[in-house]
Chain A
Amino acid sequence: QKEVEQNSGPLSVPEGAIASLNCTYSDRVSQSFFWYRQYSGKSPELIMSIYSNGDKEDGRFTAQLNKASQYVSLLIRDSQPSDSATYLCAVMGNDYKLSFGAGTTVTVRA
Chain B
Amino acid sequence: GAVVSQHPSRVICKSGTSVKIECRSLDFQATTMFWYRQFPKKSLMLMATSNEGSKATYEQGVEKDKFLINHASLTLSTLTVTSAHPEDSSFYICSATGGDTEAFFGQGTRLTVV
Q: What residues of chain A have their CB less than 8 Å away from a CB belonging to chain B? A: 31-32, 34, 36, 41-46, 49, 51, 88, 92, 95-103
Q: What residue of chain B has the Cβ atom nearest to residue A44's Cβ? A: B105
- With a CB–CB cut-off of 8 A, which chain A residues contact B49? 95-97
Given contacts A97-B34, A98-B34, contact A43 B107 (CB under 8 A): yes
Question: Which residues does chain B contribute within 8 Å of A98, judged by CB atoms?
Answer: 34, 44, 46, 95, 103
A104 to B104, CA, bound (A): 20
For chain B, the bracket of interface size reads 20 to 34
Given A44-B44, A96-B32, A102-B43, A49 contacting B102 (CB threshold 8 A): yes
Question: What are the residues of chain B within 8 A of A97 when measuring CB–CB?
Answer: 34, 46, 49
User: CA–CA, A43 to B107, complex, Å?
Assistant: 5
Contact A100 B43 (CB under 8 A): yes
Q: Which residue of B lies closest to A89 (CB)?
A: B43
Closest 9 CB pairs of A and B: A43-B108, A32-B101, A43-B105, A100-B43, A102-B43, A43-B93, A100-B44, A44-B105, A103-B43
Task: Given contacts A95-B49, A96-B97, list 17 more A-B pairs with CB under 8 A.
Answer: A36-B105, A41-B110, A43-B6, A43-B106, A43-B108, A46-B1, A46-B103, A46-B105, A49-B101, A88-B43, A92-B103, A96-B101, A97-B34, A98-B34, A98-B44, A99-B46, A102-B42
With A97-B46, A97-B49, A100-B44 known as contacts, the answer to whether A45 contacts B32 (CB < 8 A) is no
Cα(A98)–Cα(B97), bound, Å: 11
When C-beta atoms are compared, the residue in chain A nearest to B2 turns out to be A46
Q: Cβ of A102: which chain B residues have Cβ within 8 Å of it?
A: 42-43
A42 and B42 within 8 A (CB):
no
Chain A residues contacting B105 (CB-CB under 8 Å) are 36, 43-46
Question: What is the chain B residue whose CB lies nearest that of A103?
Answer: B43
Q: Which residues of A contact B106 (CB under 8 A)?
A: 43
In the bound complex, what is the Cα–Cα distance between A96 and B93 (angstroms)? 16
Query: Would you give the 0/1 interface string for B75-114, flagging 1 where the beta carbon is closer than 8 Å to chain A?
Result: 0000000000000000101010100011111111010000
